[in-house]
Amino acid sequence: MAMGDLMIVAIVVIFLSLVVLMGGIILSKGKGGTKKVKKFKAKDHAQVLKDANRRLAQNPKDVEALQALGEVYFSEQAWEKAFKTYETLMEVAAGNPDIDEFAINRRYGLSALKLNRFEEAYKGLVVAHAVKQDDFETCYNLGYLEFQRRQYEKAIIYLRQATRLNMEHAFTLRYLGHALFKTKNYKEALGVLKRAIDLQPEDKESLFAMGESQFELGQPDQAIRIFSHLRTDPALGPSAALFAGTIHLNQRQFQKAVMDFEIGLRHPDIKVEVLVEIKYRLAAAYLKEQELSKAVNLLTEINQIYPNYKDVPLQLSRYKELNSNRNLQTYLMSATSDFITLCRKITLSFFPKAKVKITDISVQKNDWADILAEVETTRWSDVVLFRMIRSTGTTGELTLRDFHARIKDLKAGKGYCVTAGVFSDESKKFVEARLIDLMEKDKLMSLLNNIDTRQKGLLVDE
């Protein structure tokens, strides 16, 4: 090859080399010109934090650096830092298609929830749920938040969604069961709460709600088993004892009711409203058991705490007198046999120095007793009918009409109607032209004070 040809080849090679070199330079500048940020490679948390904070120092809105920080803080459960990081991300991510809106809002909401910042948590989780409806954590926590806000209907919607996504999550079932109970859907609540307790047997609050549901569904025997079991629980014991005692009281098992209420009162820490209600119902049980002094003591204690609690002042005025007067107590509260014995004594002592023979006694549903007697005095003799009414209320005209008809049927010449209460104006008008005398509480008390209550046995007069 000639020298000239060699020179030509050399020139061409040099030219091509320069072209390749220049192309590489141009490509290199082109890549740098995009200013694309290097992505974070897998590193330990300390290095990620260092790199991310360095980049944020240069650009506080560096999205990738913020995301890297959020990942680290969230995984390390540094909730305050995670919350602030995702809060910043929410501000800078608006309109950015490269940002996962669901993930950012979800983590913002969950971080806020861990910090008990419920309003912020609700805000983030609602947005996350709007983007994606089939995320269990979002549904469950929104249901929990709605439950805490007492928005039970809304809570049920979210918790049902969460249940469909995870059938074995105890807390989802727990709050769903309690929300259903709060909305008086007792039957469904009972089923859901049973499943929750199967997964978490130590959940006594759900067990208590089960008992309440059974009580509301008219299943007292099942409910009483739960409440009796919980009576000694430090937290739920007083309320459980109150429920157990109330059920026994309704079933007229008064001794069992007394035991329930007394167990409830043994707890050292009782909410005052529960304490007062237990004492109120225990007083009712004592009254049924003829334990007047114990009942009066409890009513007095209640009156000192809440002076106008229910009908306590009225009961106190009534039972204090009863407690101090055994005859009146027997007249109003004792068994029918004791009441009849007392009525016989009243009849026999009604006319001093008269000869009295009782010929008939009848009782009307334990409301009153009719006693027919032949009375002979030094001045007159006649057949007299006594009606002893066991009431502290107002006796109306209908009772007096019935009494008058009874007098005519028995061919009695005179009638005495006695009550521990008062007679209505109509009753008084009805007897004006009839041989019936009305005796209200003050006259009854005079009769009761005149008889010997300590005498044992019946006074035989036949």
- Domain annotation for the chain: domains and CATH numbers: 45-327 (1.25.40.10), 331-450 (3.40.1350.10)
With a CB cutoff of 8 Å and minimum separation 6, the contacts of 85 are 66, 69, 70, 73
Q: How far apart are CA 419 and CA 85, in angstroms?
A: 81
Could you report the per-residue pLDDT of 73-125, keeping only the tens digit for each?
898 999 999 999 999 898 887 667 778 899 999 999 999 999 999 999 999 99
Angle at 361 between CA 360 and CA 362, to 5 degrees: 125
Beta strand 414-419 pairing with 394-395: unpaired
Q: How far apart are CA 70 and CA 80, in angstroms?
A: 11
Could you report the per-residue pLDDT of 151-208, keeping only the tens digit for each?
999 999 999 999 999 999 999 999 999 999 999 999 999 999 999 999 999 999 999 9
Cβ(238)–Cβ(281) under 8 Å?
A: no
Amino acid identity of residue 451, one-letter, is I
Which pTM value belongs to this model? 0.72
Going from the C-alpha of 360 to that of each of 229, 363, 372, the distances in angstroms are 52, 10, 5
User: pLDDT confidence of 5, banded at 50, 70, 90?
Assistant: low
Q: How far apart are CA 140 and CA 145, in angstroms?
A: 9
Q: How far apart are CA 448 and CA 387, in angstroms?
A: 15
Confidence check: pLDDT of 9 > 60: no
Going from the C-alpha of 213 to that of each of 18, 250, 381, 393, the distances in angstroms are 89, 17, 66, 37
Which of 154-163, 333-342, 448-457 shows the lowest per-residue confidence on average (mean pLDDT)?
448-457
- Average confidence (pLDDT) over 333-356: 92
DSSP conformation class of 392: S
